[in-house]
Copies of this chain bind each other. A is one copy, B any other.
Amino acid sequence: MDNLEDKITSEQLIDLVNNKKYQEIRDLFVKYPEIDIAEICNEIDDVTIIITIFRVVKSEFTAELFHNLDQDHQEALIKAMTDKDINTLIGASANDDIVDFLEDMPANLVKRVLQQTTKDDRVVINKLLNYKENTAGSIMTTEYIELLDTTLIQDAISLIRQNGKDAETIYTIFCKDIKRNFLGTVDLDDLIFAQPTQTLNEIMNKDFVTVDVNTDQEEVAQIVKRYDLNAIAVLNDDHKLSGIITIDDVVDIIDKEATEDIAYQAGVSPLQEKYLETPVFKMAFKCIPWLMLLLVLGVFSSMVLSSFQSALALVPILSAFIPAVMDAGGNAGSQTSSVIVRSLALNEFKPKDFFKVLWKEVRIAIITACILAIFAYCWTLIEQYTGLVSYHPGYTDATGVFVYYKDFDLFIAYSKISGLVGITLFTTIILSKVIGCILPLIAKAIHIDPALMSGPFITTIVDVCSLLLYFFICVDIFKIVG
């Protein structure tokens, strides 16, 4: 396939429509994937052009095109379309795709679309719209193939041929007994390889996994991934099949959840649309509340520094190492929280493992803290000796002249500062890694998204702790001040 964007621009597509070259438009849909055509349509502001395309191209193509358009275009189209257009569009769309775009539509347009669906479809769509967001129920489709487990293979194949066109997938067939209880799945390839006179029951996967309508979509995704499924059965509270979720939806969920976690880790609300489609103001307001909150929380650091003003006035060199101490603590905490949050997202450990994880992080923290503390001691000594950081300690002699320390005295004076940094780092790193481990675990336990507990919040908490430790060690242990 050639790249469509190199072949045709939105202007050329508009020309094709205006010059009524409908056959060429139809050919485009045969030759290129709908999602590529949708991207070009997204650049066309005049929806009547797009409506013309909808009318001249087969509805199986245009339905796919529609669901790949951006939200503004979808809204504008629904507003401008006739009832007949909408009816054709809805008739050619899968239920889960309809639900997907209705979720983002204003109420009056939702009503208009629903009026064009059959009564049966309306019941299904309304049911799907009522499931809580991000649950299996809200993303499943009700268009699947369900057969009795006693069906013969040859009959199953002809049933699939007859009814399969509307199904979301025919690669997984779902089996029930006469009471509609869900029994297992049959993969289409097993069906192909089986003898025509066998029954589905004989070749059915009995080691199936299922999810519940209320299961979180992130968990659904991890289950489908773990068991390499093509589609998973979603059961209702009576353990009857009420929908399925296919792997292509799972791929989207995995990417969406990762995007969300990455955003939270950087202290920014996740974008709902694509970057280039999101307006500037909307993007700014994804950032601003977080920055404000973090600025307000920063008051604790300010309070600590404010209350040690006199120490800083006496030994101003102390301030030079504050960023190093604060950053190292923040970084160490973010490292741990990001690893823990990610492992939680990938379902790598269960609540029963929490203490194991904590114990592991404590050991990691001690190793990291020891090495970093020694490194920081040496590095800050170098900074002082080379004059990168200017600190010239000394004493006032009997005649009132200030004499700079030399040799061993100088080493002791420098060592005090470096020791202060080293010891503060040691305690800060242990503390921040433990906090970075505990906070996401607690969040998980109380059903808050652990990703919210990463990055900036850990840093803000650790900032205060590291400053307090720094001054405590400085004033009370090392007695550098006063």
Contacts and interface: CB of A to CB of B under 8 A. Distances in A.
B323 A463 contact: yes
Contact of A328 (B248, B266, B295, B390): B295
Nearest to A246: B228
Given A262-B258, A266-B455, A367-B280, A305 B320 contact: yes
6 contacts: A255-B346, A268-B335, A280-B363, A295-B379, A302-B324, A305-B322
A124 interface: no
A430 to B, nearest CB: 12
A277 to B, nearest CB: 9
Nearest to A386: B299
A60 B15 CA distance: 57
Interface residues of A, number: 124
Contacts of A294: 327-328, 331
Contacts of A383: 299, 302
A116 interface: no
A95 B328 CA distance: 45
A375 interface: yes
Main secondary structure of the interface of A (DSSP, over half): helix
A317 B328 contact: no
A312 interface: yes
A439 to B, nearest CB: 14
Interface stretch (A104-112, A134-142, A157-165, A236-244): A157-165
Given A296-B379, A455-B455, A33 B209 contact: yes
Nearest to A222: B255
A224 to B, nearest CB: 8
Interface in A341-369: 341-343, 346, 348-349, 353, 356-357, 360, 363-364, 367-368
A450 to B, nearest CB: 12
B207 A335 contact: no
A170 B157 contact: no
Interface of A: 1, 30-33, 35, 157, 160-161, 164-165, 170-171, 188-189, 192-193, 206-210, 224-228, 230, 247-248, 250-252, 254-255, 258-259, 261-263, 265-268, 271, 274-276, 280-281, 283-284, 287-288, 290-292, 294-296, 298-299, 301-303, 305-307, 309-310, 312-313, 316-317, 319-324, 326-328, 331-332, 334-343, 346, 348-349, 353, 356-357, 360, 363-364, 367-368, 371-372, 375-376, 379, 383, 388-391, 429, 454-456, 459-460, 463, 467
A168 to B, nearest CB: 11
Given A319-B312, A324-B295, A364-B287, A389 B262 contact: no
Contacts of A307: 390
A60 B364 CA distance: 40
Contacts of A227: 33, 35
Given A247-B247, A255-B258, A301-B323, 11 more contacts: A1-B207, A160-B192, A171-B171, A250-B251, A259-B342, A266-B339, A280-B364, A288-B367, A295-B376, A302-B324, A306-B317
A266 B337 contact: yes
A42 B455 CA distance: 33
A210 to B, nearest CB: 7
A327 B462 CA distance: 12
A173 B171 CA distance: 14
A321 B298 CA distance: 9
B189 A171 contact: yes
B324 A322 contact: no
Contacts of A188: 171, 188-189, 192
